[in-house]
Structure 1
Amino acid sequence: MMKSIFTLCALMALLLTVSIQYPLHQHAKYQGTKLTAPVPHHSKHIILVVIDSLMDTPLQEAIKQERAPALQFLIKHGQYFPNVVSSFPTMSVTIDSSLLTGTYPDRHRVPGLVWYDENEGRIINYGNGKREIVKLGVKPVLQDSLYKLNNEHLSQHVKTLHEELAADGKQSASINAVIYRGSFPHQLNLPKTAAFLNILPENLKTYGPAWFSYGSLSYVNPNNQKNYIWQKYGFNDKFSSEELKYLIQSGKLPPFTIVYFPDNDHSVHKNGPMDIKGIEQADRQIQEIFGTYNSWESAIKNAVWIVMGDSGQASIGGSRKESFIRLPSLLSLYRITELRERVQKEDQILLCVNERMAYIYSIDKYVPLARIAGHLQKDDRIDVIAWKEGEIIHVIEGGKEGVLSFRPGGQYVDPYQQRWSLQGKLSILDISTKGNQMTYHDYPDALARLYGALHSHPGRYLVVTARPGFELVGESSPTHLNGGGHGSLHKQDSLVPMLVTGTDSSPKHLRIVDIKDWILKMD
């Protein structure tokens, strides 16, 4: 899912025909507080490594084939949780926002990789495919992804893990994480041609933790400064590893560090969920990091290591006709806003596709959401179709009759101690009940995650997902024929493994949204 950043970097290179400039990294001062050397800390350093699209089954296969010795070592000497629940939509910007804030998108307000901002009257796209970027405009996409995502779109009403640590007098580090907002000012060093063409300023101010790496745009290791287009401008596993090794070897490792390994995501998108090349590559980098200590045993003795995935991926079939659910064709009865155009007076609906999930907006007050949902329900490749009416959320499924309606509060209690009122066909979300106790099956934490997405931003819209094997397609969406895709509510997209060494504790619940509080309490 870090591919969105890679797409933007490649497009910048193509359009600007220059390479990234490499001024020395400027480690800024905290507003109002002198930034000193790392404060001695009474407990172990905490290092959180996120391997994009890491899943349990391919991880076990990589271990079986002896191609992931470092990850096998961590499992042997710690705790292993194969089924941690991701956020929803299962797209990096939303997941990382939940990881860093401990909230779902109804509170952190980052709805997905692509969504419609009703207030600005435009589609927000953080980098979903070259064709979409060109049609929407390079300038707004770069502004949204490189600046507004962290500094404006991520709600100021929630605090990130980095901000809470800084408020407690503790430093932290972010290496190649998509969401990184913190309390310290930094600058992203962009091509001079970007400023000349009035796309972006040459030096773009942003806020992150004390130690902040973001590919060649910002780095802590001086030897990491030259990363070219074929190295994805530093948005790769090797860069991430070198940054972390530098912090360890220089004695600058702060109490908490998050480091992103993005390369596995590309392998899985291309080759499908059982591909293990990306896992093997990530494991090599972890071995390199462990090599900065006297021994692997010393590495896990001196730090708490948390290694986890962010989302899973479901297989996409090999038939363009069958595997791609082409939303413009399904909804051809309506006038759909074109990507190159602002919303026109006669437009009726607008599509924002996030691979196996989409937001479908009714921008015509005379077109009810339920009517759009009815058209989609005729296609049995579509999985979940949900919308809200007042306090009630309605859910139907493709190819079948029946409705499930729910709202927060009520007699039913789910495994996460959340209470709900339920009415209708529970099998739509594969929910079972015994007395007042609920159990989720194919759609983990389905009610809270749907509620979060449907309250993530203003507007009248549907949440739509595809069944495993299929992918939603809009006007110019990227596709993954014979590969893997994510975005949906289904467990194949939603469950990720987590390896923990150096502590016997664990999150209150095995969900990404609970990891922030666990780390803060671990300190």
Structure 2
Amino acid sequence: MKINNKIAILLMLSLSLLIIGCRADSSRQIDQQSVKSPITANQNAKPVIFILVDSLMDKPLQDAIQEGRAPAMQYLLKNGQYFPQVVSSFPTMSVTVDSTLLTGTYADQHHVPGLVWYSGKEKRMIFYGNGAKEALKIDQLQVFKDAIYQLNQVQLNKKTKTIHEELADKGKESASINAIVYRGKTEHALKVPRFITSSNRVPEQLIITGPKWFSYAALAQLDPKNSWNTLLWKKYGMNNEFSAQDTAFLINQKKLPNVTIAYFPENDHSVHKKGPTQLDGIEKADQALQVVLNAYGSWEQAVKNAIWIVMGDSAQSAVYEDRQAATVEMKPLLNDYHIAKLNQPVRTEDQIVISTNERMAYVYAIDAKVELSDVVKLLQNEDKLDIIAMKDDKNIRVTSGKNGNTFSYRPGGNLSDEYGQSWTLSGEPGGLVDITINNNRIKYGIYPDVLARLYGAMHSHEGRYVVVTVQPGYELVSESSPTHIGGGAHGSLHEKDSLVPLIISGTNTRPKTLRIVDIKDWILQLVNG
């Protein structure tokens, strides 16, 4: 392996891996109807500062506050509103969740299916980030291009506008700081490191479109003095300090736009390594938040002069410490078929492609002779699998590894859920996805908004595929995919992966429902009020 390739792998693991992207108690259910009141217009039109803390969860946040390790978040919480259970999108991986956040849609409309997926059009796997073992088998320059350029400029549905694009259409300004999904209407040139461009496969500059104010780790900075935070041992700028300093720079220079979205990535890695109960990542995120608040001179002035939103993107559930018990190997379940290899182009004899996203996976039938129903039957042999779903004409058919029960559903019909969505269901969904129906009203249990979120993934991209999730405590494994034994992982529809906290300060308004999919419209109303 050439030295340039080794360095490229290191860069990819520092930039692309950070895109990988938690715990809630089912006994504390929030009545969604109570938050559907119309939003009161914000007459002051204060700037909105949105801080996205990767894998932030309610219980560890409360623990950190109680131990005095998160004073900034505590201050905003005490001087605002707090909602401990906001529903993420699905798969609960940062790249898909953040696409939902920016577009206000699920994956069926924004078309970003997960961290890892298979493109039938290009006949290749798409990786926006990957583990160390996978890195040795995958074209890292392609990962770089997918994560940094293709995701925003090509794969994110152009017909689905981001919040940055809608604000620009209305003559408003916005900023994206270290955010994974950033597409806007202003051209920016990303400075690609020389050891990447030396391959002659990536130009010295990548022209992208983002909001007016844009920074992305070592590739683009707002504060000229922020280069200290882009060094190799600081993950080339994909760190909390970089995000905080560039956000504070906008405040200090009085250039803060109508909306600023800043991404604090580091808590995610702490949770993956140490598990959902760790507090170190929250403490570091809070220290970075303090830097931003201090830019106003005092925290009182910060709350008076801006609207602050701090929230997680997805949660993580604990993974068992015993590797053999914790991992569910996908390939042995499907050994009746010829499975495509990770380090080779898909061949004509290949029948199945497996794309694992920690606690969920897409299983593609790329051979027309392979019946999805047969794939489902093989997967049902594994009791640790939680939800197994496939498209069946206009319906989605759902079963599990725990029993042979099935049910089908589709949008539209005489049943309505707590979010105002209507559905037609046949079969018994209760034992599979914890749904109860009373007087034509659907109530969700431990799989929040499961019908819409699963529908989004099932229609997120072309191809014939099965969606699989695994029960809490377990992680899906395919060829060389990363594992988080004794730590935390996400990806599934379960509430342990899906519920995140939301802190709001500086406004008495709140989103229409407690779902990330409704955050965009709420922010637009705050700005345009």
Match of 1:225 in 2: 227
Structure 2 counterpart of 1:79, from 78, 81, 94? 81
Match of 1:468 in 2: 472
Match of 2:483 in 1: 479
Deviation at 1:13, TM superposition (A): 6.3
The runs of at least 4 consecutive aligned structure 1 residues that moved more than 6 Å come to none
| One-letter amino acid of the structure 2 residue matched with residue 521 of structure 1 | Q
Deviation at 1:294, TM superposition (A): 2.7
Structure 1 counterpart of 2:419, from 416, 421, 444? 416
Distance in 2 (alpha carbons) for counterparts of 1:14 and 1:516 = 34
Structure 1 counterpart of 2:439, from 432, 435, 438? 435
Structure 2 counterpart of 1:170, from 169, 172, 194? 172
Distance in 2 (alpha carbons) for counterparts of 1:196 and 1:53 = 35
Deviation at 1:134, TM superposition (A): 3.4
User: Does the 8 Å contact 1:270/1:483 carry over to 2?
Assistant: yes
What pairs up with 1:286-301 in 2 under 5 angstroms? 286-301=289-304
User: Does the 8 Å contact 2:8/2:195 carry over to 1?
Assistant: no
Distance in 1 (alpha carbons) for counterparts of 2:147 and 2:71 = 35
Match of 2:348 in 1: 345
TM-score by length of 2: 0.91
Q: Which ranges in structure 2 are unaligned for 5 or more consecutive residues?
A: 16-42
Deviation at 1:366, TM superposition (A): 1.8
Distance in 2 (alpha carbons) for counterparts of 1:9 and 1:445 = 43
Structure 2 counterpart of 1:315, from 309, 313, 318? 318
Deviates more, 1:140-149 or 1:193-202: 193-202
Is 2:91 aligned against 1:106? no
User: Does the 8 Å contact 1:10/1:232 carry over to 2?
Assistant: no
Q: Which ranges in structure 1 are unaligned for 5 or more consecutive residues?
A: 1-7, 20-40
TM-score by length of 1: 0.92
Which has the bigger relative contact order, CA under 8 A and spacing at least 6? 2
Match of 1:302 in 2: 305
User: Does the 8 Å contact 1:11/1:130 carry over to 2?
Assistant: no
What pairs up with 1:186-197 in 2 under 5 angstroms? 186-197=188-199
Deviation at 1:11, TM superposition (A): 5.2
CA RMSD of aligned residues (A): 1.7
Cα deviation 1:67-100 (Å, max 9, x = unaligned): 1111111111101010100010001111010000
Is 2:364 aligned against 1:368? no
Match of 1:359 in 2: 362
Deviates more, 1:77-86 or 1:343-352: 343-352
Distance in 1 (alpha carbons) for counterparts of 2:157 and 2:218 = 27
**Structure 1 residues 228 and 10: alpha-carbon distance in aligned structure 2, compared to 1, 3 A threshold:** farther
Structure 1 counterpart of 2:205, from 179, 203, 215? 203
Distance in 2 (alpha carbons) for counterparts of 1:362 and 1:501 = 48
Is 2:493 aligned against 1:493? no
Alignment length (residue pairs)? 493
Match of 2:393 in 1: 390
Is 2:58 aligned against 1:56? yes
| One-letter amino acid of the structure 1 residue matched with residue 8 of structure 2 | M
User: Does the 8 Å contact 2:304/2:506 carry over to 1?
Assistant: yes
Match of 1:12 in 2: 8
Cα deviation 1:224-266 (Å, max 9, x = unaligned): 1242111001100011010011110111111100000001001
Deviates more, 1:413-422 or 1:363-372: 363-372
Is 2:280 aligned against 1:277? yes
Identity %: 52
| One-letter amino acid of the structure 2 residue matched with residue 211 of structure 1 | W
Cα deviation 1:273-292 (Å, max 9, x = unaligned): 01111001111111222212
Match of 2:518 in 1: 514
3-state SS of paired residue (2:446): coil
| One-letter amino acid of the structure 2 residue matched with residue 423 of structure 1 | S
Deviation at 1:43, TM superposition (A): 1.6
**Structure 1 residues 10 and 253: alpha-carbon distance in aligned structure 2, compared to 1, 3 A threshold:** farther
Is 2:238 aligned against 1:235? yes
Distance in 2 (alpha carbons) for counterparts of 1:10 and 1:172 = 36
Deviation at 1:14, TM superposition (A): 4.2
User: Does the 8 Å contact 2:447/2:494 carry over to 1?
Assistant: yes
Match of 1:36 in 2: none
User: Does the 8 Å contact 1:10/1:229 carry over to 2?
Assistant: no
Cα deviation 1:399-437 (Å, max 9, x = unaligned): 212001100111110111000001112120100011100
User: Does the 8 Å contact 1:386/1:393 carry over to 2?
Assistant: yes
Distance in 1 (alpha carbons) for counterparts of 2:10 and 2:295 = 37
**Structure 1 residues 430 and 9: alpha-carbon distance in aligned structure 2, compared to 1, 3 A threshold:** farther
Deviation at 1:136, TM superposition (A): 2.7
Distance in 2 (alpha carbons) for counterparts of 1:126 and 1:118 = 17
Cα deviation 1:8-51 (Å, max 9, x = unaligned): 999526489xx9xxxxxxxxxxxxxxxxxxxxx95211000000
